[in-house]
Amino acid sequence: MPAAPDYPSAPDLVAPKRALLSVSDKTGLVEAAQVLHAAGVELVSTGGTKAAIAAAGLPVKDVSDLTGFPEMMDGRVKTLHPIVHGGLLGVRDAPEHAKAMADHGIGGIDILYVNLYPFEATVAKGGDYAECVENIDIGGPAMIRSAAKNHGYVAVCTDPSDLAEVLEALKAGGTTLALRQTLAARAYARTAAYDAAISTWFAAQLGQDFPARKAIAGTLRQTMRYGENPHQKAAFYTFPNPRPGVATAAQLQGKELSYNNINDTDAAFELIAEFDPAAGPAVAIIKHANPCGVAVGATQRQAYERALACDPTSAFGGIVAVNSRLTREAAEAMVEIFTEVVIAPEADDDAIAVFAAKKNLRLLVTGGLPDALSTGDTFKSVAGGFLVQSRDDARIKASDLKIVTKRQPTDEEVRDMLFAFTVGKHVKSNAIVYARAGQTLGVGAGQMNRKDSARIAALRAADFGLDLKGCACASEAFFPFADGLIQAAEAGATAIIQPGGSMRDPEVIEAADKLGLTMAFTGVRVFRH
Ligand SMILES: NC(=O)c1ncn([C@@H]2O[C@H](COP(=O)(O)O)[C@@H](O)[C@H]2O)c1NC=O
């Protein structure tokens, strides 16, 4: 860790005399107040906090007694007073500050413990406009910012764990400058995150997709040993109220997740969330963020076996995602080959027990499946900034398909085309997916031309003895020329699904008709770059 910044005017150690406590979440409050009192620290509090401390029989002063003003306007004004902010901001060793404090009867506040009105939780529970506005804390962030600026003297706590560190420091005689600096940095991150939540909510209320400034804040979930490569540093931050997935997952066992694990596991779970569990079990096996096999089945085990059959070579060291409660039978099949991560909305106890023998395998349980159609933003970093776009919530139904060939598809072909296109949405462009009867048979991902993706997908199917005759072929973007489609037809596909929209569509349709194919246009492109 780098040395703490030099701040010569600030004392190395401050033995606190007075603490101001003002908290919405009062968990652990009384215990902390007891320790502070026992350490000889005078307690000052706002209404509800004071009542809780006083109820425990501890001496505590009301902020109103200090300021001479009652709390007013439904608590909108409680601590917004020079007596409070002077006590937080006054530089004790600066003669002018000390004189101002003496002249105006301002006593120093050496510890501030504030947790804010629960704005984020109010939004999460769907609070109405007025309720959300009332839950914007004003006095709390103002005090936090004052105390943090004056960290030369004041220890600012915004979380119970911060206060625990301060209580620990008291045992050694007081708060060190290094601790106060650390707490101040955390405090500004807290108020920044709070304002990010408020500004995000406000922009949404006003229907502003892209406001002039966009604040994004995350909470550190974990640091990793390294990033995408061993020479890169990495950490995982999560947003408030995350959708079910890697951000909500509990890791039930296995080695620590790496950066690549989290990225690939996210891709796996977002893909499998496309498949409604009510329609039956589905399994995806992902490698380097691309699916190497996706299938549905009568049972979860069968779905896994069918997904694995698509490309058992690439599945080695892969990530497995399931759309329903993980079963023992499926887990028993999964442990047959080396798998890095298994992610599921829930898991049966006997499924968990199966993995116990595979100490390195990471098992993640998310607590639910995200709504694949839910809105929200996704972010991508580029040099010097970040790109924001709305989540790709495209979902193609049979009724959306425009059949452009002479031959109409059979019901089976429609089913297969929709399955292949759904998977194709989660394959890096250029994406070609061959599928039949709820099973991918060949995936061509990330090629620089569509024809190569079609060829690679067919090669894979041939490698694993999967017959492409009569299968569907999905292309996530239009065929710019007929060559990719001809390639797919030669491989055995009889039903093609693609967005359409190329200037050469007539040429491509003519080729499809000549080959006796049926072809559906979705009208929707699902690039993934
Ligand atoms: N208005 C103010 O001056 C003010 N000062 C502190 N608060 C907040 O009031 C809450 C504690 O209130 P109470 O002690 O009454 O339960 C804390 O979340 C604190 O951040 C305030 N409330 C809102 O802004």
Atom of ligand 1 nearest to the CA of 76: 1
Of 56, 83, 48, 57, whose CA–CA distance to 69 is shortest?
A: 83
Q: For ligand 1, say whether the CB of 47 is within 6 Å of any of its atoms.
A: yes
pLDDT of residue 527: 97
Average pLDDT over residues 307-323: 97
Cα 140 to middle of ligand 1, angstroms: 6
78 lines ligand 1 (CB under 6 A): yes
Q: What is the pLDDT of residues 255-311, one digit of tens each?
A: 999 999 999 999 999 999 999 999 999 999 999 999 999 999 999 999 999 999 999
Residue 138 Cα to ligand 1 midpoint, Å, equals: 8
The CA distance from 33 to 343, in Å, is 42
Residue 373 has pLDDT above 80, yes or no: no
Q: Residues of the chain with pLDDT > 90: what percent?
A: 97
Q: Which amino acid is at 421?
A: F
Mutate which of 67, 115, 117, 135 for ligand 1? The one with the most ligand atoms within 8 Å of its CB, which is: 117
25-63 pLDDT, tens digit per residue, is 999 999 999 999 999 999 999 999 999 999 999 999 999
The reported pTM is: 0.92
Per-residue pLDDT at 123 exceeds 80: yes
Per-residue model confidence (pLDDT) at position 374: 78
Model confidence at 125: pLDDT above 70: yes
CB of 72 within 6 A of ligand 1: the answer is no
Buried b or exposed e, range 50-77, using 16+ CB within 10 angstroms: bebbbeeebebbbbbebbeeebeeebee
Confidence at residue 372, expressed as pLDDT on a 0 to 100 scale = 75
Q: What spacing in Å lies between the alpha carbon of 139 and ligand 1's midpoint?
A: 6
Residue 29 CA to ligand 1 centre (angstroms): 15
Q: What would the pLDDT profile of 418-430 be if each residue is shown by its tens digit? A: 999 999 999 999 9
User: Ligand 1 mean position to 46 CA, how many Å?
Assistant: 7
234 and 191 in contact (C-beta within 8 Å)?
A: no
pLDDT at 1: 61
**Pocket of ligand 1 contains residue 330 by CB under 6 Å:** no
Mean of per-residue pLDDT scores for the chain: 96
Q: Is the pLDDT of residue 9 over 90?
A: no
Share of the chain above pLDDT 70, in %: 100
- 19: pLDDT confidence band, cut at 50, 70 and 90? very high
Any ligand 1 atom below 6 A from CB of 480: no
Ligand 1 atom nearest residue 50's Cα: 14
Is the ipTM above a cut-off of 0.85? yes
One-letter identity of residue 61: K
- Asked if 401 contacts 424 with a C-beta cutoff of 8 angstroms, the reply is no
| Whole-number Å distance between alpha carbons of 33 and 22 | 11
Distance 50 CA to ligand 1 centre (A): 11
For atom 8 of ligand 1, the residue with the nearest CA is 140
With a 6 A CB cut-off, is 85 part of the ligand 1 pocket? no
Is 158 near ligand 1, meaning CB less than 6 Å away? Answer: no
Query: Which atom of ligand 1 lies at the shortest distance from residue 116's CA?
Result: 18
Among 312, 315, 266, smallest CA distance to 287 is for: 315
Mutational test site, ligand 1, from 20, 21, 22, 198, max ligand atoms within 8 Å of CB: 22
pLDDT at residue 2 in the model: 66
> Which of 20, 46, 72 has most ligand 1 atoms within 8 Å of CB, for mutation?
46
Calpha distance 523→111 (Å, rounded) = 61
Question: How much is the pLDDT for 54?
Answer: 98
Answer yes or no: are the C-beta atoms of 282 and 276 closer than 8 Å.
no
Quick one: pLDDT at residue 375? Answer: 77
- Which sequence positions are flagged as catalytic? 149, 288
Q: What are phi and psi of 436, to 5 degrees?
A: -150, 140
Mean pLDDT of 455-466: 97
Q: How far is the CA of 174 from the centre of ligand 1 (A)?
A: 26
Q: Which atom of ligand 1 has the smallest separation from the CA of 49?
A: 14
SS3 32: helix
CA of 75 to the centre of ligand 1 (A): 7
DSSP state of 333: H
pLDDT band at 3 (very low <50, low <70, confident <90, very high): confident
**Is residue 6 pLDDT above 80, yes or no?**
yes
Condensed to tens digits (0 to 9), the pLDDT of residues 77-105 reads 999 999 999 999 999 999 999 999 999 99
The tokens describing 38, both together, are: 């026992």
- Ligand 1 close to Cβ of residue 141 (< 6 A): no
Among protein residues, the one with the nearest Cα to ligand 1's atom 20 is 140
